[in-house]
Homo-oligomer: A and B are copies of this chain.
Amino acid sequence: VKVSDIGEFGLIQVLADIIGKNKNPKDATWQKLLIGIGDDAAVWENEASFQLATTDCIIQDIHFDINTSTWDEIGWKAIAVNLSDIAAMGGVPSYALVSLALPGEIEVGSVSSLYRGMMEISNQFGVAIAGGNVSSANTIMISITVLGILKNKDMLTRSGAKVGDKIAITGYTGLSAAGLQMLKHNLQFDVEASDIFKRAHLKPVPRINEGQTILQCGVKSAIDISDGLIADLSHICDSSNTGARINLDLLPIHPLIRTNFKEDFLQMALTGGEDYELLFTAPDYIIKNVKKALDCPVTTIGEIVDDLTQKVTLVDISGNIVPLSYAGWEHFKLTG
């Protein structure tokens, strides 16, 4: 059955049913939702708080490939990239709205799988899908808005970095780039490597709990690594009016990337993007506390400096500057 066979209103009914059957009604977000899908707008009960809102869009053949991803992986990732932005503020995600555009010849079953993927990750993080809309289009576009809250005025921003702060990062960088290369060029690796690369690229897990813990530890400045380590660190430098120095030998590069991408592992770690790890800066003693508080790897990779001649400077183990010949992902052009 194709989407064009059941039409817009038929599709909305199918999607509302999937959400209804898969939701966790015990989540506080669902309990506070008064009007979900099926009216002009969603309505929920809101306590006084600091509201977070972010929106991100993924588009066929630009952000995903239906030949190398399953539909539920696409749905997972569409929500994940937005949750990662909430994580980077130290927030608690609450509601999502999904704006879906697609050609009528797509199978209803595919769209159902897309929504099951969205529900899987939403349930994992207590997010309720409160509404959305569907529209016909020549290409598949999934635009999602996620709302969240901060309990008080403290938050993680891009502008909070101070000269002397250490720069740290959760997890590994470059794994998502490895997954993209593997899928795009049909590269063959052993099962363990394949699985890690693929999951990093197709089912990234946003650092929601880690973001909140980092904030509680007293960190003021963070960003998620969606554009690539250098590009995202540059955003912090821009907003904080600082420079940054990264020690290449400290980068948390997964051993499976080093061994399987001997030529490219450094570029992948620095510019690959889509890792959805958190990069944050703080005085050393706070970073030490973060390391104690978190279960995931946390690695200090450099420091914030007052040298503004180049936003991000790379140095090797001897302190020598390594020329920066590539930057990171930017829509409309690939710099470097």
What residues of chain A have their CB less than 8 Å away from a CB belonging to chain B?
3-4, 6-9, 11, 34-35, 38-57, 59, 62-63, 84-86, 88-89, 91, 95, 97-99, 101, 104, 130-139, 141, 143, 145, 147-150, 153, 155, 157-159, 222-224, 239, 330-333, 335
Q: Contact: B137 with A38, CB < 8 Å?
A: no
The reply to whether B41 and A54 form a contact with Cβ atoms under 8 Å apart is yes
Q: Do B34 and A50 have beta carbons less than 8 Å apart?
A: yes
Chain B residue at minimum C-beta to C-beta distance from A86: B41
Bound-state Cα–Cα, A55 to B101, Å = 12
29 A–B contacts, CB within 8 A, in A order = A4-B332, A7-B330, A7-B332, A7-B333, A7-B335, A8-B331, A35-B89, A35-B157, A38-B239, A40-B86, A40-B88, A40-B89, A40-B222, A42-B54, A43-B52, A45-B50, A46-B48, A46-B49, A47-B48, A54-B97, A54-B131, A55-B99, A57-B135, A59-B137, A62-B136, A136-B332, A137-B141, A138-B138, A147-B147
- Give the residues in chain B near A139, CB-CB below 8 Å: 137-139
- Check if A41 sits within 8 Å of B59, measured CB to CB: no
Q: How far, in Å, is A141 (CB) from chain B's closest CB?
A: 6
Residues from chain B with a CB closer than 8 A to the CB of A138 are 138-139
Chain B residues contacting A145 (CB-CB under 8 Å) are 53, 55, 97, 99, 145
Closest residue of B by beta carbon distance from A89:
B41
B141 touches A56 (CB 8 A): no
The distance in angstroms between the C-alpha atoms of A97 and B96, with both chains bound, is: 13
Cα A45 to Cα B149 in complex, Å, equals 10
| Pairwise interchain contact B54-A11, C-beta atoms closer than 8 A | no
Residue of B nearest to A2 (CB): B332
CA gap between A47 and B50 in the complex, in Å: 9
Q: Please, which residues of chain B bring their CB within 8 A of the CB of A97?
A: 53-55, 145
Q: Given A48-B46, A57-B99, does the pair A40, B85 have CB atoms closer than 8 Å?
A: yes
| Contact indicator B50/A133 (Cβ below 8 Å) | no
* A134 near B54: Cβ-Cβ < 8 Å: no
Q: Using A8-B332, A41-B53, A101-B141 as known contacts, list a sample of 8 further A-B pairs with CB atoms less than 8 Å apart, ordered by residue number in A.
A: A40-B85, A40-B86, A45-B50, A55-B133, A56-B99, A57-B99, A62-B136, A136-B331
In-complex Cβ contact of A133 among B35, B56, B62 (8 A) = B56
A57 to B133, CA, bound (A): 8
- Assess the A4–B333 pair: CB atoms within 8 A: yes
Question: Across the two chains, which residue of chain B brings its CB closest to A334?
Answer: B7
**What B residues does A159 contact at CB under 8 A?**
39
Compute how far the CA of A95 lies from the CA of B4 in the bound complex, rounded to whole angstroms.
34
CB atoms of B99 and A59 under 8 A apart: no
- Which residue of B53, B59, B89, B104 is within 8 Å of A101 (Cβ)? B59
Within 8 Å by CB of A53, from B88, B131, B136, B157, lies B131
Complex Cα gap A130–B136 (Å): 27
Query: Do the beta carbons of A53 and B95 come within 8 Å of each other?
Result: yes
| A42: nearest chain-B partner, CB-CB | B53
CA distance A332 to B138 in the complex (A): 11
Note all chain B residues with C-beta closer than 8 A to A141.
57, 101, 137, 141, 143
